[in-house]
Chains A and B, each alone.
Chain A
């Protein structure tokens, strides 16, 4: 058993978020696309190392799930850090299309055709 190690791994990510376990905004779904603002705003608090890593990974648009994998951190932790970056004006966010109630026939056909080309 290595319960001590496992506990250590669980605790560590949330030290990156100042102990917060919920994002202050619910802007970040698994497929929300984030992009670093270029050039970065001047002034403001200096970003932490983990924030800097995120900014590097989202220099090109990337979805939250892929970002979390690249950082090897849980999505819940990444979402909190993304909130910080959004509030600091360092990233932009693009929400996925809302599907549910009124399915977009053009979108469905586009996906269907794309799969047909595989």
Chain B
């Protein structure tokens, strides 16, 4: 806590917390951030040269993105003294280090899965499992359709039994909110144990 920081007279700064929205390319991360954010999602970009990456290792990045990696984020004001930020992480997990604190101090994460190509979200699941960052899986039903049951998806992703798998629609605000609530319920249940 930063209670001892000198606070300028006037507006006290609210506490800030964050949740990461992860998953493969084109799985609906930015859509979800946009659906629940109270502001139009903002974008911040890092030049690849910052990280000293040079010119290699750009396989699979569309040409227009070859020089920067983008992070989209949105905001939900919880109260006068607390603001929640949602960060939609870059689809390619190997670039997350460019925001070196991206995963540090996150309440948890939502890993979005497209059932048509679940393998695109394996890297994100692996990332959070290895760092013991709690997460739930949000299955984004394209055109609102959900051809598989949560248990089938859990099995296909080789997830532990306690990891919630939630079916939702990233275009719907209430649906996205329920996924975030599902994550918080999981966090509360785990920390009360």
Contact = CB atoms under 8 A, between A and B. Distances in A.
Q: A and B: partners?
A: yes
B78 interface: yes
A16 interface: no
A9 B47 CA distance: 9
A36 B49 CA distance: 30
Contact of B6 (A6, A74, A92, A116): A92
Interface of A: 6, 9-10, 13, 21, 29-33, 35-38, 60-61, 63, 65-66, 68-69, 74-76, 92-100, 103, 105, 107-112, 114-116, 118
Contacts of B68: 74
Contact of B47 (A38, A74, A93): A74
Contacts of B13: 33, 35, 61, 94
9 contacts: A35-B13, A38-B8, A74-B46, A74-B50, A76-B98, A92-B6, A97-B15, A111-B17, A114-B78
Interface string B155-193: 000000000000000000100010011001101101110
Interface of B: 1-2, 5-18, 36, 42-47, 49-50, 67-68, 71, 73, 75-79, 82-85, 87, 98-99, 101-102, 104-107, 173, 177, 180-181, 184-185, 187-188, 190-192
Contact of A108 (B6, B77, B106, B191): B191
Contacts of B104: 29, 100
Q: Interface of chain B, helix or strand or loop or mixed?
A: mixed
Nearest to A34: B13
A114 B79 contact: yes
B107 A99 contact: yes
- The 9 lowest CB-CB distance pairs between A and B, nearest first, are A114-B78, A61-B13, A103-B191, A112-B184, A31-B16, A29-B101, A33-B13, A69-B42, A94-B2
Given A29-B105, A33-B13, A69 B36 contact: no
B8 A110 contact: no
A35 to B, nearest CB: 5
Contacts of B44: 65, 68-69, 74-75
A93 B5 contact: yes
B101 A6 contact: no
B39 to A, nearest CB: 9
A31 B74 CA distance: 12
B36 to A, nearest CB: 7
B73 A118 contact: no
Contact of A95 (B2, B18, B42, B43): B2
Given A35-B8, A112-B188, A115-B177, 19 more contacts: A10-B47, A29-B105, A30-B73, A30-B99, A33-B16, A37-B8, A65-B73, A65-B85, A69-B43, A74-B50, A92-B5, A94-B2, A110-B78, A112-B181, A114-B78, A114-B79, A115-B180, A115-B184, A118-B177
